[in-house]
Amino acid sequence: MTTSVRNLATRGDDLFSDLACLAKLDTERRSILPVLESARRVRKDVGEQVAKAKQTGQPAEDLIQASKEHGAAIKEHESRLEVVESQRDELALPLSESSS
């Protein structure tokens, strides 16, 4: 048995709990990323539509409002992603140290 395996084995139930929590955080992170990227794409597209509307003299207020709403949603997703990644990193660090 390698030292890494022995170190991990001494953690017992805590290890399995930590790994389960890491898996949950990873699943949550993976669910946030595509939603965040999609919202960013939509905001970019809306921004281009706003520019075109302004160039042609069309009203853009509704598009600007939609862009603001997407911006708020993006901030929420980014904030949640930051929390999840921070928790994941905090939990993963002791695991990587014990395998050294």
Distances (CA, A) of 13 to 49, 50, 66: 54, 55, 48
- Residue 35's contacts (CB-CB under 8 Å, 6 or more residues apart) are 77
Give per-residue pLDDT as tens, 39-90.
999 999 999 999 999 999 999 999 999 999 999 999 999 999 999 999 999 8
Whether domain 3-98 has CATH 3.40.50.300: no
Domain ranges of the chain: 3-98
Per the listing, tokens 């997703």 go with 77
Give per-residue pLDDT as tens, 19-45.
889 999 999 999 999 999 999 999 999
Cα 30 to Cα 34: distance, rounded to the nearest angstrom: 7
Q: State which amino acid sits at residue 40.
A: R
Q: Is residue 1's pLDDT more than 50?
A: no
